[in-house]
Amino acid sequence: MPQPSTATHARRQPPDGCWAGYRSDAGTRRCLRLALRFHDGIIVGSGDEPRGPFDVFGIYGAESGRFALLLTASDGSATDLDGAALGHGIAGVWLDDAGATGEFSIHPQHAPSHGRA
C-alpha cells in the first residue's frame, strides 16, 4: 500500500509570510492583513484590521484543505474563522464572540507581482 510522501505534504502546505484579504458582514467589508506561519498542521501569526491588531492561532489539514483560525484582539475579543482552501487562498465564514457572523477570504501576497513595495 503506498504511503503518503512528505513531498505531497509540502506541496499542500500554505506559504508562510504576508497574507491579505477581507471579512464582511451586513454589507461592510473590512481589510485584513496577516503574517502567518504554517507548520505540521499548526498556524501561528498576527494581523491587523481597521478595528485593531490581533494574534492568530489555528489548525489546518494539508490533505483535507480545511482551516480553523482564532483571531484574538488585544482587548480579549475573539473571532473564529472556519474555511477551506480555495485556489491559492482560504475562504469561509467567521463568527465573533458577540454573535456577529459573515464571510472571509484571504490569500498570500507575492510582492512585487502586485506592483506594491
Q: Which segments of 1-117 does DSSP mark as H helices, in order?
A: 6-12
Based on its alpha-carbon atoms, the radius of gyration of the chain, rounded to whole angstroms, reads: 15
Whose cell is 464571510? That residue is 103
**Domains of the chain from N-terminus onward:** 16-108 (2.40.128.120)
Determine contact, residues 80/69, Cβ cutoff 8 Å: yes
Cis bond upstream, residue 112 (ω within 30): yes
pLDDT of residue 12: 73
Instruction: Give dist(CA 77, CA 71) in Å, integer.
Output: 8
Summarised one tens digit per residue, pLDDT across range 44-80 is 999 999 989 999 999 999 899 999 999 999 999 999 9
